[in-house]
Chains A and B, each alone.
Chain A
Amino acid sequence: MSTTPLTGNTNNAPQSSVSDEKIHGGTLQADHFFYDNKIVKMFAYATMFWGIVGMLAGLLAAFQLVFPVLNMNTAATTFGRVRPVHTNAVIFAFVGNGIFMGVYYSLQRLCKARMFNDRLSRFHFWGWQSIIVLGAITLLAGYTTGKEYAELEWPIDILIAIVWVAFGWNMFGTILKRRERHLYVAIWFYIATFVTVAMLHIVNSVELPFTWLKSYSWYAGVQDALVQWWYGHNAVAFFLTTPYLGLMYYFLPKAAGRPVYSYRLSIIHFWALIFLYIWAGPHHLLYTALPDWAQSLGTVFSIMLIAPSWGGMLNGLMTLRGAWDKVREDPVLKFLVVAVTAYGMATFEGPMLSLKNVNAISHFTDWTIAHVHVGALGWNGFLTFGVIYWLIPRLFNTKLYSIKLANWHFWIGTLGIVFYTIPMYWAGFMQSLAWKEFTPEGTLKYQFLETVTQMRPFYMMRGIGGTFFLIGALIMIYNVWKTIKAGSPVEDEAASAVPLTKTYEVHSKEHWHRWIERRPVQLLIGSLVVVAIGGLIEIIPTFLVKSNIPTIASVKPYTPLELQGRDIYVREGCYTCHSQMIRPFRSEVARYGEYSKAGEFVYDHPFQWGSKRTGPDLARVGGKYPDSWHFNHMYKPSNTSPGSIMPQYTWLFDDDLDTAVTAAKIRAMQTLGVPYPAGYDVRANADLMKQAKTIKDNLYDSPEKINIPENKEIIAVIAYLQRLGKDIKLEQKTAAQ
């Protein structure tokens, strides 16, 4: 392989290689075969296409926070639905296809074998693209589980499981028919990715369908939160990190033309990383109603994670020792170096954010948004771009059309990251301090809304940073297009290698780790055991122990109307901006009321604690305002809250509540253990209408004399909002009496 970057190799010439079989066995004939480049090309195109889609959705969401009019007063284009489309598109469509692009290219070469089955490859490709399209459509249509980064509903969850298994099957088939005895470290990362994502997806997606597109999470409240963030955190670990580390271990040495700095370090950091990561999930739930021990466990393991994460970063950067002059000239290396540096920054910041004292400031603010974008734009984005610039000329047997344009992309992209993250760090810090500030008289200094309107210039700057990043990506697509036009595709790249002998000749100093290196199936089982231990320890105690979640006698199941309203709350993605979790801080108790207790959420399928407060916490909004306030606020938020950036929800005033599914919802909840009386499903709608009538009458009795039919969706939403946090308030009232 040429060590001159951006130059296509002579793809059609079979690569000769000498294997240990030749050395030890003597006479084996080399196999001639072809690498499947077409599937790599397909995934590369999908990566670029979905990258643009995901970034555009992100830009729309970003500017909606500055100009609420961009919500377009339509359900599908409202922030609460666009934001999940953005996150899912970037994670599963852009990075997902990027993973497969890199894995399908490198795995074939590292195994010296064509992919196991071409049909399986195609099935994987088209299956994944269908999931993305279905995901985008259903999310925009309001079908969501309401669990961040796992929003897709149950039929798509099943499809994901099937396609993921196809990917694993194809990967293991290839590994089993390999012509290279030893599994290079990149493949270990791929295997760990496959195993762990499968486990996370299945455990977190246990849900009970009640219509063909809607389901309730099997878990409730604290358990749901724990499982969700165990999933959410490890989706970052095993979807955005381990596969990309695998890609780094292949493409960085290839682009630099020299082997990885320390192979020993790669072994140690691989095992440490997959073991430690799985325990760190609860750091997303610090100061919440989650048991304290689980919070502490999350923090301890997060701090320990610095070691293996930085092991990986240093290994990547040190690979370039003595070759830094190349970084000056080669855009591929520039992208890779910034990617690895961003990885190092994000993985240092992550553990810092998991310290409780730092988290008290950062959580629920834009600081988290800045943190994840250092990872998403820097680590995932730039590594993907670097790999694309390296791959495309090789897939088309030509040179990159313009190094100058690639350099432009690099600089505009880097500036984009800087312009994105700095305002967000600033905004997060500023807003958090404003939330916590008291006057000398001991009252809160700022209204929540004041702290939001102060954010708008920062949101604007963030949008500009994002635009820069997108322009960079468009420049890349132009460059790639011109490169493709100049070259000719090498869809099947000829190669040759000596097959493996059946028996392996054991060397004198055989060690056990060599044994596992040669055995992919055992490695799969080993990594599953390692990650399962962490997962089980975290989850088993909360699952089995009733007393873990102290029950509060006054906490009652939602009424049918409230349940319907809650489902609309989930549908509209209210959790993307509103938390329902009051942390035990003086500032939060003063602003929102009594801090949240684990026992308050026992009937919440799914939990709706949220992770970001673009709007105020709603855990105890019930009874805070009259029904008519909610009515006016939802119709046009600026009516009641001048300067609000919340979208209008006018369709809730036109659309009728779907009472045909009430019975199915009640039955599903009963199955999940919510204590509605037997046979309540058939009586539920009568209660629902009664409560709706009361709210309708309340609205009519308000000074504005609001007149709206009781069967509109807004009535259910008002019922739900007015219920929030009331159980404990009732208890206090009773105690006072």
Chain B
Amino acid sequence: MKFIHYLESIAGVGIYPLASLLIFFLFFTALTVWVLRADKKYIRALKQIPFPEKDHTQL
């Protein structure tokens, strides 16, 4: 019961895992880069959303 055996039986199925891995990898890398580079003030403001009485909206 080899992984490749099942995948080979579907025409062009090899693209599924590759595509999904690629999508996830690119998305996740971009996400991490964005998160690390995001404006500190902006992040601080987002954190404050549950506390509307404080002025959190210096976006």
Contact = CB atoms under 8 A, between A and B. Distances in A.
Our verdict on whether A and B bind, yes or no, reads: yes
Interface in B4-59: 6-7, 9-10, 13, 16-17, 19-20, 23-24, 27-28, 30-32, 34-39, 42-44, 46-53, 55, 57-59
Contacts of A534: 20
Given A271-B27, A545-B9, A182 B49 contact: yes
Given A18-B55, A509-B39, A537-B16, A293 B50 contact: no
A33 to B, nearest CB: 13
A112 B50 contact: no
A267 B34 CA distance: 10
Contact of A180 (B20, B23, B47, B49): B49
A640 interface: no
A542 B3 CA distance: 11
Bin chain B's interface residue count.
35 or more
Contacts of A109: 50, 52
Given A110-B49, A291-B1, A541 B31 contact: no
A544 B17 CA distance: 16
Given A267-B31, A541-B7, A259 B51 contact: yes
A79 B4 CA distance: 43
A292 B31 contact: no
A533 interface: yes
A732 B13 CA distance: 36
Contacts, number: 116
A540 B16 contact: yes
Given A1-B53, A181-B59, A512 B34 contact: yes
Interface in A274-320: 275, 291-293, 296
B57 A20 contact: yes
Nearest to B48: A259
B46 A548 contact: no
A272 interface: yes
A267 B35 contact: yes
Contact of B50 (A15, A110, A292, A296): A110
B53 A15 contact: yes
A182 B46 contact: yes
B40 to A, nearest CB: 10
A16 B2 CA distance: 63
A293 B59 contact: no
Nearest to A547: B9
A106 B37 CA distance: 29
A22 B56 CA distance: 12
A448 B28 CA distance: 49
B53 to A, nearest CB: 6
Contacts of A547: 6, 9
Contact of A259 (B30, B47, B55): B47
A263 interface: yes
B43 A23 contact: no
Interface in A459-512: 497, 507, 509, 511-512
A511 B59 CA distance: 13
Given A263-B47, A271-B31, A537 B17 contact: yes
A268 B31 contact: yes
A497 B55 CA distance: 12
Contacts of B52: 15, 17, 109, 112, 497
Contacts of B36: 264
A16 B55 CA distance: 10
Given A292-B3, A533-B24, A548-B6, A1 B51 contact: yes
B24 A511 contact: no
Given A253-B50, A259-B51, 9 more contacts: A17-B52, A17-B53, A259-B50, A263-B44, A272-B28, A293-B1, A511-B34, A512-B34, A540-B13
29 contacts: A17-B57, A19-B57, A20-B58, A23-B57, A109-B50, A182-B59, A184-B46, A184-B50, A253-B51, A254-B51, A259-B47, A259-B48, A259-B50, A259-B51, A263-B47, A264-B36, A264-B43, A271-B27, A272-B28, A275-B24, A507-B59, A512-B30, A513-B34, A514-B42, A533-B19, A536-B16, A537-B20, A540-B10, A540-B16
- Sorted from nearest, which 6 A-B pairs have the closest CB atoms? A293-B3, A259-B47, A292-B1, A184-B49, A533-B20, A545-B9
